Amino acid sequence: MKSVRARAYASIANLGYGFDVFAVCVHCGFDEVDVSLRPSGSRLEVEGEAGRAIPGSIGRNTAGVAAARLMRDLGVECPIGIRVHKGVSTGGGLGSSAASAAAAVVAVNRMFGLGLTRRRLVPYAAHGETASAGASHADNVAAALFGGFVVVEKRDPTRVLHLKPRGALRFAIAAPKVSLTTQAARRALPRTVAIEEYSQGCARSAMIVAAIASGDLRALGRALEGSVTDRARAGLVPGFAEVCDSARRAGAAGATLSGAGPSVMAVVDASRVPPQRVAAAMGDAFRRVGLDAETRIARIAGGARVIEAR
């Protein structure tokens, strides 16, 4: 096989109380990664409007870092070319770096016939996140690899619970034009939490998983609001409370940060409420505090896959 192209979709991590362990894969852009054989000297290129600020070297790009670790650990010694086609916007809390890393490991796995399962690919894709976030975290990459909703263990990222959300679930997303890096968002978090906060988080986390499994979207919206991470990061996103209030008034079941932010996402039952109405209300709320915001509607997406091999 001379080249393989794989595709992976955007994702929303945390979902309120599921910090670093919950994520859902969504149709909100995708990245494609081409891996090909080279006669000598591995190299990486980035293409696409969303990739202008993305590092173009293997050692600094999430796709390159993930692919290199996978090949090293599996004993593959072969120069390759990696071409990253960026379709997921960066810095918006939609798992942009994870999409690249997930697509890269899926492509390398097929290219060299490594035969690794999605579970075994998770740690390699998570390692790719060190290039952008400064640390390995598996929530977004697990969602991008599996599709649907995932719960992933921090200490053993190969242990993934995968669920296909039920009901007419849609996410209304408003992405304000404000800069917020993952590193900055993590620095805002408290290092410790009170036992009462821990207990509340356990209850809400269980409610989120149960609501997704049962299709109770009203319960899902209620359960994901008010997390310690949202409260800690709210000040980094101007108008956060107003945007969430506007989403609820427009019919959303609940609203929270999308990943580390600055995007805000709202849970919408599309069988009851037009998602476009909710998104428009969120965009208007951002504009009232002086920020332009791009709005979109996302549905659940499937996992990363090979779309071309030759």
Tell me whether residue 168 is exposed, middle or buried, using C-beta atoms within 10 angstroms of its C-beta: 0 to 12, 13 to 18, 19 or more.
middle
Count of alpha carbons within 13 angstroms of residue 223, beta-carbon side:
21
Nearest-angstrom CA–CA distance, 269 and 139: 24
Catalytic positions: 129, 182
What tokens were used for 37?
């054989």
Quick one: which of 286, 294, 281, 167 has its CA closest to 218?
A: 167
Place of tokens 């609203």: 255
Cβ neighbour number for residue 91 with a 10 Å cutoff: 20
Q: Could you tell me the CA-to-CA distances from 126 to 30, 138, 141, 197, 237 in Å, in that order?
A: 17, 5, 6, 28, 26
Q: What is the dihedral of CA 57, 58, 59, 60, to 10 degrees?
A: 50
Q: Is 55 left (phi over 0), alpha (psi -120 to 50) or beta?
A: beta
* Residues 6/304, Cβ–Cβ less than 8 Å: yes
Contacts within 8 Å (CB) and 24+ apart, 192-200:
193/228, 197/228
